[in-house]
């Protein structure tokens, strides 16, 4: 049953495609340990609700299961196989970071029936996606290029990078607020610049470290974004992602169309909370600092582990990682930073990365 009151007379604001990475980004929150039962249960519920695209995989994407990024309980093949079977109507999406994943991983994902493939790079390194986007276009798979840690680049820089991604074959481009650092005005400026630079769909993916994920996603839609990412109960790295079952009715109330059934979506979110997570994400103290520092949300568990072992404040670790402009894939830097802070703590006059004196 779908009873969505729009609360507005504006019924012509257009369609927004909702892309659901609950079964990929959410993996960060549970150390990549989702089971086949959990994947199947949520994928079936999302499909029944009419969620257009359901993304699955290790939190860092295809080929990323490793000691450095975290070993997943299931292989990529197992995850793709079970979710593909559970999606008779919805499209299946996958994500890959060059360096973690390879052409071989892409071909295997295509063989498993991946419909939408996103290639992610750091926000100023779109060139790294050229080979993989070309392959996907040759294979006839919908290919998107997305830019991580996008707060590190200006609107003009992001627009230029997106234009390059389109040249390489991307049929959609977008930005990830990987650290939950943005405010709505930041998002609007970037989406407007990107929208002016390309003639393909533009995407926004938010994180909730500063409690702004839904507001930022709405700002993206109003600025011209065609695709928005959101996860059930916000299930995702760090403080979590844009909350799917909140974003969809907000968009509908504003006059945007999503094609998703409200009651089915709420049911899927209930299943996600019951089956996937020990508790929904919260904006804890470390999450806030991660957002302020502009550090990848997926670092949270590793920062807590290493900080506890080294006896240092994880907030100091996040601020120092931000000062060093750490990006996804540099998990080893967490150890270096924690060790350096531990050594520095022996000096009573030492100043922490947050600018405070111990």
Query: Which positions are catalytic?
Result: 28
DSSP string, 240-286: -B-BHHHHHHHHHHHT-B----HHHHHHHHHHHHHHT-SS-----HH
Q: Is 10 exposed, middle or buried (0-12, 13-18, 19+ CB in 10 A)?
A: exposed
Query: What DSSP state is assigned to residue 52?
Result: S
Longest dimension (CA), the chain: 64
Report the alpha-carbon angle 83-89-94, nearest 5: 40
- Could you give the CA distance from residue 181 to residue 294 in angstroms, rounded to a whole number? 6
Q: In which element (H, E) is residue 146 found? A: strand 142-148
Of 48, 68, 69, nearest to 58 by C-alpha is: 69
């Amino acid at each position: 049953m779908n009873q969505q009151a729009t609360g507005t007379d504006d019924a012509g604001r257009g369609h927004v495609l909702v892309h659901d990475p609950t079964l990929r980004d959410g993996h960060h929150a549970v150390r990549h340990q989702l089971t086949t039962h959990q994947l199947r249960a949520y994928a079936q519920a999302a499909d029944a609700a009419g969620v257009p695209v359901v993304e699955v995989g290790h939190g860092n994407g295809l080929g990323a299961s490793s000691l450095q990024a975290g070993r997943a309980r299931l292989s990529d093949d197992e995850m793709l196989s079970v979710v593909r079977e559970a999606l008779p109507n919805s499209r299946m999406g996958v994500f890959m970071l060059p360096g973690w994943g390879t052409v071989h991983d892409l071909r295997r994902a295509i063989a498993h029936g991946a419909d939408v493939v996103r290639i992610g790079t750091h926000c100023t390194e779109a060139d790294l996606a050229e080979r993989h986007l070309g392959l996907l276009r040759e294979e006839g798979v919908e290919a998107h290029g997305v830019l991580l840690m996008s707060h590190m680049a200006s609107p003009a820089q992001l627009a230029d990078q997106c234009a390059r991604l389109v040249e390489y074959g991307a049929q959609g481009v977008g930005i990830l607020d990987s650290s939950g650092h943005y405010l709505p005005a930041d998002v609007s400026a970037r989406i407007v610049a990107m929208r002016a630079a390309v003639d393909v769909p533009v995407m926004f993916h938010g994180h909730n470290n500063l409690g702004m994920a839904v507001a930022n996603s709405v700002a993206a839609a109003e600025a011209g974004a065609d695709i928005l990412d959101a996860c059930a109960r916000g299930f995702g790295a760090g403080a979590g992602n844009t909350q799917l079952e909140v974003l969809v009715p907000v968009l509908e109330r504003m006059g945007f169309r999503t094609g998703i059934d409200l009651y089915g979506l709420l049911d899927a979110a209930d299943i996600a909370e019951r089956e996937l997570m020990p508790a929904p994400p919260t904006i804890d103290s470390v999450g806030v600092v991660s957002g302020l520092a502009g550090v990848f949300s997926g670092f949270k568990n590793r920062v807590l582990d290493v900080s506890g072992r080294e006896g240092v404040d994880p907030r100091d670790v996040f601020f120092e990682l931000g000062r060093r402009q750490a990006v996804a894939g540099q998990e080893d830097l967490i150890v270096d930073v924690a060790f350096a802070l531990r050594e520095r703590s022996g000096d009573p006059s030492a100043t922490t990365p947050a600018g405070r004196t111990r």
